[in-house]
Chain A
Amino acid sequence: MEPVSLFDLATKQAQWLAVRQSAVAGNIANANTPGYTANDVEPFEKVLDRTAVSLQATQAGHLGNAATNAGFTIKPQEDDGVIMPSKNSVVLEDQLMKAGEVRRSFELNTAIVKAFHSMMMMAVKS
């Protein structure tokens, strides 16, 4: 889905970042839960390439959630991280790094939107 304007792209990225934040939050909260595999959203480039946005159930009985409603798929992480004997695959440091990335991208996003919004207002004011 090729965004037509800067603001559309910024909104899409902000939604994607929010979904990623919730995935990371779920991983960190379940860092000690046996049998839990870490999740992550699909990369943003893939989201942009998709032309259709559809609701997908990734497993039977899976209710629609904030993520799928926004059209981003959350799937188990692919990296070969450490797997604990309890079958938990969450590495806390990696998750905190991802949270940091989310924060930086989000700050850049809001700063860009703010700047262009103020430019637009400036141009329109008489």
Chain B
Amino acid sequence: MDALTAALKVAASGLGAQSERLRVVSENLANAQSTGTAPGSDPYRRKTISFVSELDRTSGSSTVAVNSIDRDPSDFPIEFQPGNEAADEKGYVKMPNVNVLIEMADMTEANRSYEANLQVVKQARDLISMTIDLMRNQ
């Protein structure tokens, strides 16, 4: 596989990885207030995503792939909401360990990386097109 097509493939893997990251961020944001249903039960636990670089055999370049989607092990913050159905006997509710500001920052980063990968896709495609244009009749 020639280098430009390999570049296209690598950039496409980057797009896929960043989209997964964005999906995880949106899940976290959507569930930022999702408490449990039974008294004292655990709420939504924040998801984290990690990437790994893989050597793609056909093109010989290092593509990126999702390594795993794990759960954030940090403690749940506790709020005082006696009316909530998940409140324990003292009236405290465990809230999801999602920090909205962190998720928004992550989303901005994911967007930025996605745009950069998209740039690479466009450029690789344009370079291939320019090469083919050499043959066209002037």
Contacts and interface: CB of A to CB of B under 8 A. Distances in A.
- Do A and B come into direct contact in the complex, CB within 8 Å? yes
Interface of A: 14-15, 17-19, 21-26, 28-34, 36, 62-68, 70, 92, 95-96, 99, 102-103, 106-107, 110, 113-114, 117-118
B131 A22 contact: no
Interface string B1-27: 111101110110110010001000000
B75 interface: no
Contacts of A23: 61
B51 A63 contact: no
Contacts, number: 126
B1 A66 contact: yes
Contacts of B14: 25, 28-31
B61 A33 contact: no
B89 to A, nearest CB: 42
Interface of B: 1-4, 6-8, 10-11, 13-14, 17, 21, 50-53, 55, 57, 59-64, 109, 112-113, 116-117, 119-120, 123-124, 126-127, 130-131, 133-134, 138
A18 B117 CA distance: 16
Contacts of B123: 21, 99, 102-103
Contacts of A30: 14, 51, 53, 62, 64
Given A99-B120, A103-B126, A18 B7 contact: yes
Contacts of A113: 134
B60 A25 contact: no
B53 A25 contact: no
